[in-house]
Structure 1
Amino acid sequence: MYLGLDLGTSGLKTLLMDGNQNVVGSAHAALDVARPHPSWSEQDPSAWVAAARAAIGELRAAHSGEFGAIKGIGLSGQMHGATLLDAKDQVLRPCILWNDTRSHKEAARLDSDPRFREITGNIVFPGFTAPKLAWVKNNEPGIFAKVAKVLLPKDYLRLWLTGEHISDMSDSSGTSWLDVANRRWSAELLAATDLGEEHMPALVEGTQPAGSLRRQLAAEWGLEGEVVVAGGAGDNAASACGMGIVRAGHAFVSLGTSGVLFAANGSYLPNPDSAVHTFCHALPDSWHQMGVILSATDSLNWLADITGKDAAELTDELGKDLKAPTGVSFLPYLSGERTPHNDALIRGSFTGLGHETDRVALTQAVVEGVAFAFRDSLEALRKAGTELSRVTAIGGGSRSRYWLKAIATALGLPVDIPADGDFGAAFGAARLGLIAAENADPLVVCSTPNTAETIEPDGALAGAYFDAYQRYRALYPAIKAV
């Protein structure tokens, strides 16, 4: 048996998988995000451990016999978070999360140093880890002076599980400290933020062993023998492993809290000017590119809170057939935006509102706005040298067929829906646990699921969507100017 842990922003999921990759069961524990000031987003790392204990306990209670046969554990997690520990591994402050943009000035300063783009292959985004440490140094110098280790969120869970300070290549790519081409920490970039390699965890590939479960936890959970903990992956790379998006040319579109257009690459293809992320993949000698939207389903959830309807009710009101855009446009920049704008300060907007604009029209505009944000990412990927012929849909928002029709038409690409099953980040993490524990072939283990349905672009609405996208593109510079 193999256990996958996926530490998300709003919750932690556990998934138990057998050696034939059949999902035995899963469990979930919710997490809250603290926003003490505008642009801030934080979590207490102790809440991650409590959530892991709760979800693992639920899974163990429901599948006690199978749980006792666990031989490997894989980790997936929200990326970029700055978890700061002192010399005794005590947490110094709440973790600053991926969608926290307080360090936009520090990010701009680091990004103006050409070494960062040259070595990492990426813009220094405000959500990345390095500018967060620069912010702490500037604003909380007493805490910065005590920092002995900087861990990413999932790697704090690894510390709890194994007692080891270890990270993987994919997750570490989002720190602005990794030499992404050569898959190692850059002493030069660490020094630029007054840190050294001694502050960083050791690095392994996502498929490699990265510690063993502590005896105390093994005994508590009734596990015998060595339980290997894999290097694991950042959440998007883990989702790619779950979906089998590990070979060049394969891609997925993820409709989660944030949105991601992810393409696997067989070589290192950086183009930071496009605001596309170029990261190591979870498998050795492979990389990936992705465009990132900061507020995907978060945009619809925001509208749901405003209207008093849940997200599913809102999309159900749109009906089954794709509609032509109404002229109401929505920019989904509720927390700023990454691809293609790299703008932490821009905020969302509706335009084209009239007396006739009702709740359904607002929902349609939100759905289309997120779809057009994915089109922005597609164009950025093309500028970075990656062409896609189709994408696979994952994430909670992919349950809305209307939204997928809008995305297919906005992208001009077929969208594949996988057959029933759980192929997300927790499943990908469990696959990495299997590979590490059994020294299995990653390409064999990370196979693609069967396709249950393909949503083709709506040719009859292609022209209307193109016109609406051009209007959408013109709005960012207009809104930014004011």
Structure 2
Amino acid sequence: MSFIGLDLGTSSLKAVLIDADQKVLAEHSVPLSGARPQAGWSEQAPADWVTATDTAMKALRAQHDLSDVRGIGLSGHMHGATMLDAADNVLRPCILWNDTRASTEAAKMDADPQFRDVSGNIVFAGFTAPKVAWAKNHEPQLFDQIAKVLLPKDYLRLTLTGEHVAEMSDAAGTSWLDVAARNWSDDLLAATGLERSQMPRLVEGSEVSGTLRDALAQQWGLPKGVIVAGGGGDNAASAIGAGVVAKGDAFISLGTSGVLFAASDAYQPDATSAVHTFCHAVPDTWHQMGVILAATDALQWLARLTGQTAAELTSDLGDLTAPQRTLFLPYLGGERTPHNDTQIRGQFLHLDHNTDARQATRAVLEGVAFAFADCHAALRSTGTTIERAIAMGGGAKSNYWLHVLATTLGIPLMLPKDGDFGAALGAARLAIMAATGAGLEVASMPPIARTIDPDTTLTAAFTDTHARYREAYIALKNL
């Protein structure tokens, strides 16, 4: 008996095959690219997701027999607006999470008190609802054809099962969900010019959402009747993969964007903090998270600027030392938590003739850490306490960066042993729950290889530099 997790990321689709004991049997990643046709725009063609899924499934089959697969779980990048007509044709490229074109529409929605009251969150420009409102204002003929709005992974589900279904964790990031009631809000939909009939059916992430089409099962070597679980938005699925499901559990993710995520057993929103309060991917559970828009993305930007790879930039930074005078504000495409500012942009400060690529790299890593520290402060303001966190994502491969983060945040960071405990594994775990009826015991924390503790001898230096960072933000904001 085996299970598949599919994680639709911004830059790749990852597939993982695990057995009933969660041993990884096969895995494969397929690169994806997006388009930025105008400043602040970010789009992908849903057809590329379908092609990537086919490629990944065939690669799994080439590595391992798939004839005993019982379930498939889905994860994907959140907030994308995939608009379909009555025949399920895609009306335009999907507008992605890091697209900021709908800032005017978002501000208008956020000024309507019912959005924060019902959804529990600020209406960020990256969320789904303002993007559809943008289409209504700028592409009215297209808007009039909308029969369904699906999130990215849920468009994949449609191609796999023929079902229009979403689950709670992803739906919570649309600005249309009553997050406390875990149901669509007719009032919020009406405020966007939509009706409930244009929304997918809702399930929990650990529930069955449909069955894989027979033709696809035959094509990929799977048996008939393979169930497809509800799954989760990328962060909720990552939390399932890392065992972050109980109150007090947390992770920090250093991916393209950065996430500080804490599980909760209660709905406790505080929209003014710009902390996201969403449903988790399992019933009767919620989570809070602070989100920064450029984590490894900031390092990749510096890599492009210097002509070096990110690995080359971070390979020779030595032992952790006190921050230098050079500062970097990582707001390359705006910022979410805690600033909720789509217009602010990044900045280097205090450069001189001696500033080289090594010093610039340290400044970038420190600047991202200070942005995380602002998220941490916002989470604390809501009453959420984080005493330790699992470190995940590509940036967690940098030992230096992890020491910077642990010292800046003042919490130990735990590195999982043996493997990637991210969203693809979380999706596969949700497939196990949906197919077998298993509970949260499936989503245990992984063995920890090592823990990186804060360097208390440098705490004061990092605290002082973080204060300078905040002053620089205020100055930049007031320009």
Q: Hey, what's the Cα distance between the residues in 2 that align with 1:221 and 1:305?
A: 38
Q: Hey, what's the Cα distance between the residues in 1 that align with 2:26 and 2:262?
A: 29
- How far residue 238 of structure 1 moved from its aligned partner, in angstroms, is 0.2
- 2:6 alignment partner AA: L
Q: Give the 3-state SS of the residue equivalent to 1:465 in structure 2.
A: helix
Q: Hey, what's the Cα distance between the residues in 2 that align with 1:98 and 1:338?
A: 11
Q: Hey, what's the Cα distance between the residues in 2 that align with 1:237 and 1:245?
A: 9
Q: Give the 3-state SS of the residue equivalent to 1:71 in structure 2.
A: strand
- 2:223 alignment partner AA: E
**Residue correspondence of structure 1 range 83-162 to structure 2 within 5 A:** 83-162=82-161
Match of 1:455 among 436, 452, 456: 452
Q: Give the 3-state SS of the residue equivalent to 1:327 in structure 2.
A: coil
- 1:153 alignment partner AA: P
**Structure 2 match to 1:17:** 18
**Structure 1 match to 2:360:** 362
- How far residue 127 of structure 1 moved from its aligned partner, in angstroms, is 0.2
Q: Give the 3-state SS of the residue equivalent to 2:40 in structure 1.
A: coil
Q: Hey, what's the Cα distance between the residues in 1 that align with 2:241 and 2:17?
A: 13
Q: Hey, what's the Cα distance between the residues in 1 that align with 2:361 and 2:163?
A: 46
- How far residue 424 of structure 1 moved from its aligned partner, in angstroms, is 0.6
Q: Hey, what's the Cα distance between the residues in 1 that align with 2:154 and 2:459?
A: 44
Give the 4+ runs in structure 1 shifted more than 4 A.
none
- 1:387 alignment partner AA: T
**Structure 2 match to 1:36:** 37
**Structure 2 match to 1:242:** 241
**Structure 2 match to 1:343:** 341
Q: Deviations over 1:16-38 (max 9, x none)?
A: 00001111110000000100000
**Residue correspondence of structure 1 range 436-455 to structure 2 within 5 A:** 436-441=434-439, 443-455=440-452
Q: Hey, what's the Cα distance between the residues in 2 that align with 1:388 and 1:93?
A: 41
**Residue correspondence of structure 1 range 228-239 to structure 2 within 5 A:** 228-239=227-238
**Structure 2 match to 1:51:** 52
- What fraction of aligned residue pairs are identical, expressed as a percent? 60
Q: Give the 3-state SS of the residue equivalent to 2:458 in structure 1.
A: helix
Q: Hey, what's the Cα distance between the residues in 2 that align with 1:52 and 1:344?
A: 32
**Structure 2 match to 1:2:** 3
**Structure 2 match to 1:383:** 381
Q: Hey, what's the Cα distance between the residues in 1 that align with 2:6 and 2:183?
A: 25
Relative to the length of structure 2, the TM-score reads 0.99
**2:250 touches 2:389 (CA, 8 Å); kept in 1?**
yes
Choose 219-228 or 115-124, whichever is displaced more: 219-228
**Structure 1 match to 2:408:** 410
**1:101 touches 1:127 (CA, 8 Å); kept in 2?**
yes
Q: Hey, what's the Cα distance between the residues in 2 that align with 1:451 and 1:20?
A: 18
Aligned length: 478
**Structure 1 match to 2:328:** 330
- How far residue 221 of structure 1 moved from its aligned partner, in angstroms, is 1.6
- How far residue 422 of structure 1 moved from its aligned partner, in angstroms, is 2.1
Q: Hey, what's the Cα distance between the residues in 1 that align with 2:214 and 2:56?
A: 20
Q: Deviations over 1:259-295 (max 9, x none)?
A: 0000000000100000000000001000000000100
Match of 1:372 among 370, 373, 379: 370
Q: Hey, what's the Cα distance between the residues in 1 that align with 2:215 and 2:399?
A: 46
Q: Hey, what's the Cα distance between the residues in 1 that align with 2:401 and 2:221?
A: 44
Relative to the length of structure 1, the TM-score reads 0.99
Q: Hey, what's the Cα distance between the residues in 2 that align with 1:241 and 1:141?
A: 39
**2:214 touches 2:224 (CA, 8 Å); kept in 1?**
no
Q: Deviations over 1:70-114 (max 9, x none)?
A: 110000000000000000000000000000000001000000000
- Aligned pair 1:278/2:280, yes or no? no
**1:68 touches 1:221 (CA, 8 Å); kept in 2?**
no
Q: Hey, what's the Cα distance between the residues in 2 that align with 1:459 and 1:439?
A: 46
- How far residue 225 of structure 1 moved from its aligned partner, in angstroms, is 3.1
- How far residue 158 of structure 1 moved from its aligned partner, in angstroms, is 0.1
Q: Hey, what's the Cα distance between the residues in 2 that align with 1:306 and 1:57?
A: 37
